[in-house]
Amino acid sequence: MSQVDLRTCFAGLSLKNPVMTASGTFAARESGEFYDLSRLGAVITKGVAAKPWPGNPTPRIAETYGGMLNAVGLQNPGAEAYIESELSYLAQYDVPVIANLAGHSVEEYVAVTECLNETSVAMFELNISCPNVKEGGIGFGTDPRMAAQVTEAVKRAAKKPVMVKLTPNVTDITAIARAVEDAGADAISLINTLLGMRIDLKTKRPLLANGTGGLSGPAIKPVAVRMVYQVRRAVKLPILGLGGICTGEDAAEFLLAGADAVAVGTAALVNPTAPVDVVEELAAFMAREGYADVAALKAAFVG
Amino acid sequence: MKRVIAARLAENAGLAPEIFRMVLRLPEGEMPARAGQFVNVYLEDGAHLLPRPISVCRQEGNALTLVYRVIGAGTRRMAHLQPGAEVRISSPLGNGYTLPERGHVLLAGGGVGVPPLVQAAYEAKAKGLHVTAALGYRDALFLQREFADACDALAIATEDGSAGFHGNVVQLLMAQALPEDTAVLACGPKPMLRALQAFCAARKLPLQVSLEERMGCGYGACVGCVCKLLRNGAIVQKRVCKDGPVFDGSEVVFE
């Protein structure tokens, strides 16, 4: 596979390959127990806020056909603990770190941005799309005006490139994508989870303590591919495509749809080495199909 | 490094209604499991994606025994696996029990919380500790031979009174005098563990409890399975899969 060049430039970052971990499904120490993190294009860490968040009550997880629901609610130890623990641990690896930022308000998003400005973080991913947080989160991601407002404020405060993560729980995702592009975003990632629900037939109650949760996994992949395709045609920004990627072939599908890089999320919960498996499978797929680099594969889309 | 390995199914048969024993042959040189650890069992059927975290009942050489209850579609699928099948499992996960250096060990188990105490019994016996097991069942008994083999004393409680003490494990223990140097290792339903917490606090006995929660990844990445501990006057959240599943019984907040 030496003939395949996976190197990727994404919003100014030089990556070994276009494969990242998806926020919320990656923890440095725990994932690093299964594979060498330096083999990835980048890692996107779990949502972090300026101050610690307790998250939602349990059960937070429910299985569904071909996927899962989660309602973790962005439990995180706050920026200070994130810098001391997660970031310092990641320093031993040769991999760019993208920090997923959480907040309940514009001020909170700006606060965490400022906390992480002087760190080794290579890029920010603005999480305006978590369906499990009552205030903030998805509230910003479903309204083009609010999405633009928070993007602009964070962009003004940030000393790193800012990627904005979009929710699929909207009527027209291209309207949000255009709004954050106009507000100065450096990249877009999509999709976050789809709002879903399951009910326990024994207790007749929702399976999740939160009632509803975010659906992820291979079940949502066609929705994600469609939205990447739509957003590619609406904006010029680099796109990180994610949503149900389990294999290298899945990753290739996103690249063909218009993504410039991809992230592996739920698959890593199902198979801890999935992110690096996807790197190898993508290279094998490209070698088999005769594409020398990512640009050649992307250019092959007929649509 | 931790990894996912392909094990070979040697046995998979019912022990009691809805309770099954699975014996897996591991590849040579796999990391041995400690009592109280668990493995992820990956079902790989395309619909049930998440691993089933199952406690280690016994590991001898390359034979790993899991005893599990069929509670849904995933575990039912596990029960249908035939000997000879390849089963993908993770390396042992979680922290496991900490055995005392000397003295008495009391193993308190309820229902499908009984199996992990088998490994604990054998490890305690190998350390020369005095081992007592107090096991509670709804009705049908299982794993009696193993406990009889590894323990110095064995007491049984059944909810229907069909064998041993008529009642639950904590009621059974109320009637017994325990040596002062007894360390209690427990696994079972939350009401049982909560009652044991009060029981051990009143007698000043150290208690370790193994908790259960719906898990996503089982290795600490998704933070789906947290529990609450009361530590130094403050509530802290810990991941059952990675920081546990065994916790200091005096700290756990049962809700």
CB spacing of A26 vs B224 below 8 angstroms: no
Question: Residue A133: is its pLDDT beyond 80?
Answer: no
Dihedral, CA atoms, B229, B232, B235, B238, nearest 10 degrees?
-40
Number of CB atoms found within 10 A of residue A171's CB: 7
As a whole-number percent, the residues of chain B with pLDDT over 90 amount to 93
Over residues B205-216, mean pLDDT = 96
Q: Looking at the partner chain, which of B42, B220, B226 has a beta carbon nearest the beta carbon of A58?
A: B226
Averaged pLDDT for residues B182-193: 97
How many angstroms separate the CA of residue B175 from the nearest CA in chain A? 35
Are B134 and B172 in contact by the 8 Å Cβ rule? The answer is yes
Q: Domain residue spans in chain A?
A: 8-299
Contact B220 A29 (CB under 8 A): yes
pLDDT at residue number B177: 87
Using a CB-CB cut-off of 8 Å, the residues of chain B touching A35 are 1
Q: Is the dihedral of CA A43, A46, A49, A51 positive or negative?
A: negative
Catalytic residue numbers of A, as ranges: 130
Q: How far apart (Å, rounded) are the C-alpha atoms in residues A39 and A96?
A: 11
**Cα distance between residue B73 and residue A93, in whole Å:** 40
Q: Considering only CB atoms, which chain A residues are within 8 Å of B242?
A: 30
Measured between beta carbons, the chain A residues lying within 8 angstroms of B213 are 58-59
Q: Is the separation of the CB atoms in A13 and A96 below 8 Å?
A: yes
**Residues of chain A with a CB closer than 8 angstroms to some CB in chain B:** 24-27, 29-31, 33-35, 46, 54-55, 58-63, 65-68, 70, 72, 75, 217-218, 266, 268-273
Pick the CATH number of B211-255 from 3.30.870, 2.10.240, 2.60.40, 1.10.3470: 2.10.240
Q: Dihedrals φ, ψ of B133, to 5°?
A: -115, 135
Of residues B2, B48, B224, nearest to A70 (C-beta): B224
**How far off is chain B from A80, nearest CA to CA, in Å?**
17
Task: Name the residue ranges covered by the structural domains of chain B.
Answer: 4-90, 104-208, 211-255
Give the start-end residues of each E strand in B51-196: 52-60, 63-69, 86-90, 104-110, 130-137, 153-158, 165-166, 182-187
Mean pLDDT of A154-161: 98
Distance between CA atoms of residues A147 and A141, nearest Å: 5
**What is the phi/psi pair of residue A265, to 5°?**
-120, -90
Query: With pLDDT > 70 as the criterion, what percentage of chain A qualifies?
Result: 98
Which value, in Å, is the radius of gyration of the alpha carbons in chain B?
Answer: 18
pLDDT at A40: 98
Cβ–Cβ below 8 Å for A218 and B224: no
What's the rounded mean pLDDT across residues B218-226?
96
3-class DSSP state for residue B80?
coil
| Subunit contact B221:A65, Cβ cutoff 8 A | no
B31 touching A (Cβ < 8 Å): no
Q: What is the Cα A95 distance to its own chain's centre?
A: 16
Whether the CB-CB separation of B129 and B122 falls below 8 Å is answered with no
- Tokens, residue B110: 């309820």
A109, two tokens: 């998003």
Position A1 confidence tier, pLDDT thresholds 50, 70, 90 = very low
- Mean pLDDT check: name the lowest of A243-252, B13-22, B40-49, B120-129: B40-49
Average pLDDT over residues A203-209: 96
Residue A119: how many other CB atoms lie within 10 Å:
16
Q: What is the mean pLDDT of chain A?
A: 96
Question: What six digits make up the tokens of A107?
Answer: 């001020």
**What residues of B are in contact with residue A60 (Cβ under 8 Å)?**
214, 216, 223-226
- The residue of chain A with its CA nearest to that of B3 is A34
Interchain pair B223, A46: CB under 8 A:
yes
Compute the nearest-CA separation of A145 from chain B (Å): 31
**What's the 3-state SS for B161-198?**
CCCCEECCHHHHHHCCCCCCCEEEEEECCHHHHHHHHH
A61 to chain B: which residues are within 8 Å by CB? 50, 214-216, 222, 224-225
Report the pLDDT value the prediction gives residue B47, as an integer from 0 to 100.
Answer: 85
CB contact under 8 A, B50 and A61: yes
Asked if A68 lies within 8 A of B213 by C-beta distance, the reply is: no
User: Distance, in angstroms, between A179 CA and closest chain B CA?
Assistant: 31
What is the predicted pLDDT for the residue at B31? 78
Question: Mean pLDDT over all residues of chain B?
Answer: 95
CATH number attached to the domain at B104-208: 3.40.50.80
Taking every pair of Cα atoms in chain A, the longest distance, rounded to a whole number of angstroms, is 56
Using CA atoms, how far apart are residues B67 and B63, in angstroms rounded to an integer?
A: 13
Put simply, whether the predicted model's pTM sits higher than 0.90 gets the answer: yes
Chain A residue at shortest CA distance from B91: A34
Instruction: Examine the pLDDT at A143 and tell me if it is beyond 90.
Output: yes
- Its ipTM equals 0.92
Class of the CATH domain delimited by B4-90: mainly beta
Whole-angstrom CA distances from B26 to B21, B23, B40 are 16, 10, 14
Phi/psi for B94 (5° steps) reads: 85, 175
Q: Is A8-299 CATH 3.20.20.70?
A: yes
Alpha carbons A93 and A89: distance in angstroms, whole number: 8
Residues ≥6 apart with Cβ < 8 Å to A13: A42, A96, A122, A123, A161
The dihedral built from the CA positions of residue B217, B219, B221 and B225, taken in this order, carries a sign that is positive
Question: Measured between CB atoms, which of A24, A60, A68 is closest to B50?
Answer: A68
Evaluate whether B227 touches B205 at the Cβ level (below 8 Å).
Answer: no
For chains A and B, what is the number of CB pairs under 8 angstroms? 97
* Cβ pair B16, B141 in contact under 8 A: yes
* Cβ neighbours of A250 in B, within 8 Å: none
Q: Tokens for B150, please give them.
A: 């590894």
- Residue B242 C-alpha, separation from nearest chain A C-alpha, in angstroms: 8
Nearest CA in chain A to B215: A61
| Residues in A touching B75 (Cβ below 8 Å) | none
Give Cα separations from B211 to A3, B23, B109 (angstroms). 50, 23, 12
pLDDT digits (tens, 9 = 90+) for A38-84: 999 999 999 999 999 999 999 999 999 999 999 999 999 999 999 99
Answer yes or no: is pLDDT of A136 > 70: no
